Amino acid sequence: MKKILFSIWLIFALMVSPAFAQYQQGNTRTGAQVDLYLENAKDLGTTTGIVKSDGANTIAAATDGTDYLSTLVADTTPQLGGFLDLNNKLVTDAANAFGGADTTPNVTGGTIFKSGGADAYTDFDDGTNHTNLKDGQLMIILFQHAAGLDCTSSQINCNSGNDWTASDGDAAICVFDDTTDGDGQWLCV
């Protein structure tokens, strides 16, 4: 009788013990090696680090850069799902060059642009008008030669309405404001 009671007590103690709960579905055990077995006692194997499964009851160490993403660039469909901590770094895109003497360059393809050969820019558009520009769109122009912004045009508002001439190495920051007249205008500093 003592043997039966001891066996029942042992089974009950194992079922309610924290060690038993650590191996239940949905719980995680870290900091220790865990041997995993499938039904019918098939050994999945032992490894450290990031693991992969071949779908046929075998696990192995994942190969850096091939079995998982080793860089953010490799993820072609990123989903942030929360705030991004930049760790005191700057996020930029490549600088696009304005074409030749185009005084109304298309700015839908980026945020940072290098001046082309135009003497003065009178507008920045989406190739034909402002239809595809978004209110609040930011643009940075890095001037590579003497060029200017035509601040007397109705599409660019800057420098108290006086034209502005930039030198090589100057920069302008512009924001698209689509709330003013239906066609929108760029506010530049």
Of the pLDDT bands very low, low, confident and very high (cuts 50, 70, 90), residue 66 is low
Q: Under 8 Å CB-to-CB from 159, ≥6 apart: which residues? A: 149, 151, 188
**In the prediction, which pLDDT does 13 show?**
41
Confidence check: pLDDT of 72 > 50:
yes
What is the predicted pLDDT for the residue at 82? 74
List the chain domain ranges. Answer: 19-71, 96-188
According to the model, what pLDDT value does residue 30 have? Answer: 56
Quick one: pLDDT band at residue 63, thresholds 50, 70, 90? confident
165 vs 86, more confident: 165
Token readout for 35 is: 């041997």
Residue in the structure block whose two tokens are 């192995």? 60
Mean pLDDT of the chain: 74
Lowest mean pLDDT among 24-28, 43-47, 127-131: 24-28
| Res 41: pLDDT | 52
Burial class (CB in 10 A: 0-12, 13-18, 19+), 81: exposed
Distance between CA atoms of residues 142 and 93, nearest Å: 13
Q: What confidence score (pLDDT) does residue 21 get?
A: 45
Which tokens belong to 74? 């490799």
